A and B are shown apart, each in its own frame.
Chain A
């Protein structure tokens, strides 16, 4: 059957575009409280290394303005807040109130106050003026966005000339065997762990499926270029299970 233009993926399901945002919201409302714990358990803590690499590739400096988009519980925002210092600014933006709340509480408990603001925003329609940020990061967020092209264009708009976008996202493992093992892990082990630890199998089933449906490395690179980003490159991490894409606005 031919897919209608107003439909999109929610994991492996095809749903109406205007439904996806609500369904994704449901997933993250549901996982917010246990999100950090599950992240550590399911990635064996390796997500911390992927995020460290993202920081390394950010080039961020004191005094700069950073947007951590789909920032959720704020791991990256916390680090950027320290790096930009009191003269800089970090905006932690997420479409989901529950995730933002968990992020806000976590950062406050870490003593991070003053240069971080929290904004509930949809990546497709960012509520910021043109040319605002030196750096935008979106970590494990883009695959949840309904219209990824619109989101990338929106990010380009709010980025300053000379600024950079970093997209950290699950991708396609570059070795067939790794790909298979990873499939077993994500479709069988991950939802089961979600059921046991977070008592929420469906959300983790969605997360696994959404990983598979996300564009591969080259496709995302093309999408970033089509949106207007320049010098787009990517770096595979953990054999391509995750990739970090980087693009600039000139």
Chain B
């Protein structure tokens, strides 16, 4: 979905600014450099796919398939993941699935845990305010969290529905068939305007 691609690009930029401003980020990235990690959170519009470099990350889309490790977890269980003592139990009960080296998953998380980023703000763009808040808590305030999971899930799905509507925003009018007729008219008008301006300014341009 194009809107998600735009959002992905802006989150990527924000995370890279934060990484660049963190003097110890390179150290943390060193262990995961050249690898790709995917976080599948059921209920989110797409998995979060991170490719790590020496000093930055790329946030890739769901079509990227060369993933080195992944974690799959329900939105409602996400916050528990930061508690290492619970992870084994969660794996045994099937609430979290890890593929690849679990140490890699931990290292990937470490890259972000210490970042000076307002994750709430950041993920709000991605997911809408409520899940954004929730994910943010998942990243840096996990221990105090007592979310009402069912309510969050419902709100998340509401937000996603809104996100679909947002996808047809004017900026992306060209992408959506319903708006095409209007686009054609606008272009006709624009063309006429261009014609008249061109006629008015038909004096030869100055050469430098």
Contacting residue for B60 out of A46, A48, A56, A85, CB 8 A: A56
B17 lies within 8 A of chain A by Cβ: no
Query: Contacting chain A: which of B121-129, B133-141, B147-155, B190-198?
Result: B190-198
Contact (Cβ within 8 A) B180 A52: no
A214 lies within 8 A of chain B by Cβ: no
How far does the alpha carbon of A212 sit from the alpha carbon of B65 in the complex, in Å?
Answer: 33
Contacting residue for A181 out of B8, B64, B171, B180, CB 8 A: B180
B192 to A, closest residue via Cβ:
A188
Contact (Cβ within 8 A) B63 A184: no
Contact (Cβ within 8 A) B177 A175: yes
Contact (Cβ within 8 A) B66 A59: yes
Contact with A along B35-62 (1 / 0, CB 8 A): 1100000000000000101001010111
Query: Which residues of chain B in 1-49 are interfacial with respect to chain A, using CB atoms and an 8 Å cutoff?
Result: 2, 5-6, 8-9, 33-36
Contact with B along A65-94 (1 / 0, CB 8 A): 000000000000001001101000000000
B183 lies within 8 A of chain A by Cβ: yes
Knowing A44-B174, A48-B9, A59-B64 touch, does A184 contact B184 (C-beta < 8 A)?
Answer: yes
> Could you say which residues of chain B place their CB within 8 Å of the CB of A182?
174
A113 CB to nearest B CB, Å: 14
Contact with B along A233-250 (1 / 0, CB 8 A): 000001101000000000
How far does the alpha carbon of A199 sit from the alpha carbon of B206 in the complex, in Å?
Answer: 11
Q: How many residues of A contact B (CB 8 A)?
A: 34
A61 lies within 8 A of chain B by Cβ: yes
A128 lies within 8 A of chain B by Cβ: no
> Could you say which residues of chain B place their CB within 8 Å of the CB of A46?
2, 174
B107 CB to nearest A CB, Å: 15
A49 lies within 8 A of chain B by Cβ: yes
A174 to B, closest residue via Cβ:
B177
Q: How many residues of B contact A (CB 8 A)?
A: 36
Contact (Cβ within 8 A) B187 A181: yes
How far does the alpha carbon of A48 sit from the alpha carbon of B61 in the complex, in Å?
Answer: 13
Knowing A56-B64, A59-B66 touch, does A189 contact B205 (C-beta < 8 A)?
Answer: no
Knowing A188-B187, A239-B177 touch, does A53 contact B34 (C-beta < 8 A)?
Answer: no
> Could you say which residues of chain B place their CB within 8 Å of the CB of A185?
187
A175 to B, closest residue via Cβ:
B177
Contact (Cβ within 8 A) A192 B9: no
Contact (Cβ within 8 A) B183 A82: no
Contact with B along A176-192 (1 / 0, CB 8 A): 01101110110011001
A60 lies within 8 A of chain B by Cβ: yes
Knowing A56-B61, A60-B66, A241-B174 touch, does A49 contact B53 (C-beta < 8 A)?
Answer: no
Contact with A along B157-177 (1 / 0, CB 8 A): 000000000000001001111
Contact (Cβ within 8 A) B194 A175: no
B188 lies within 8 A of chain A by Cβ: yes
> Could you say which residues of chain B place their CB within 8 Å of the CB of A79?
58
How far does the alpha carbon of A60 sit from the alpha carbon of B51 in the complex, in Å?
Answer: 11
A165 CB to nearest B CB, Å: 16
Contact (Cβ within 8 A) B66 A52: no
A125 lies within 8 A of chain B by Cβ: no
A244 to B, closest residue via Cβ:
B63
B181 lies within 8 A of chain A by Cβ: yes
A57 lies within 8 A of chain B by Cβ: yes
- New A-B contacts (20) at CB < 8 Å, excluding given A177-B184, A178-B174, A238-B175: A44-B171, A48-B9, A49-B9, A52-B8, A52-B9, A53-B61, A53-B63, A56-B61, A56-B64, A59-B64, A61-B66, A83-B58, A177-B177, A181-B183, A185-B187, A188-B187, A188-B194, A189-B191, A189-B194, A239-B177
Q: List 6 A-B contacts (CB under 8 A).
A: A46-B2, A52-B8, A59-B65, A60-B66, A180-B184, A184-B188
